[in-house]
Amino acid sequence: MGYIKHEILHIFIAWIVISLAFAWQGFSNFSAFYLNLPIVLLAAGTGFIVHELSHKFVAIHYDAKARFVMWPYGLVFAVALALISGGGFVFAAPGAVYIWGKDLSRKESGIISVAGPVSNLVIAILVFVLSLIIFQFYISQFLVTLFYTIISVNLFLGLFNLLPIPPLDGYKVLVWNKPVWAVLLVIFIAALIYFW
């Protein structure tokens, strides 16, 4: 039971730190930071937490043990880069789901890895569809910013994690199934171009 509390604490710390990094708009723009922070907390919560839990639960489905462990150096680097770039770029490497207890096949490892980016894509699509429905009846700047931020953060996190560089998800997906990796990469790039 203790390790579950430990994992929850790691997820919570990583979520808050990543949110702070994404919300940062530079030293001269504190008002934007405070306005953005609640929205970014929701966006990072959907993007980061669901992404990591997707890895965890798919691994458990394959009879492996799994838990999230934050990466303190990655969190420090994310905040430092956000500060240096004035919020222009965030390197989001808050931690990873560690999997043990079973020798996974290449396919199982690939499916566990692809679950994270796919969860980001699903969230982005669902929020986009929800925005189309809601904006038929009501539009506010807050909702526009909220939906746009949730979609953008999820697309960014999904695309970043699909980079074919170890230990990112994209490397394991590419090793398992190149067409799946390529199709997802194209979808994420096209979606980001559309929303930016």
Catalytic residue ranges: 52
151 within 8 A of 174, measured Cβ to Cβ: no
Residues of 8-39 as b/e, b for ≥16 C-beta within 10 angstroms? Answer: eebbeebbbbbbbbbbbbeeeeeeebeebbeb
The secondary structure of residue 168, as a DSSP letter, is S
Q: How far apart are CA 92 and CA 73, in angstroms?
A: 11
Count of residues making up the chain: 196
Q: How far apart are CA 79 and CA 86, in angstroms?
A: 10
Q: How many CB atoms are located within 10 Å of the residue 63 CB? A: 10
Ranges of H-type helices in 45-166: 50-61, 72-84, 106-134, 141-161
Cis bond before residue 167 (omega within 30° of 0): yes
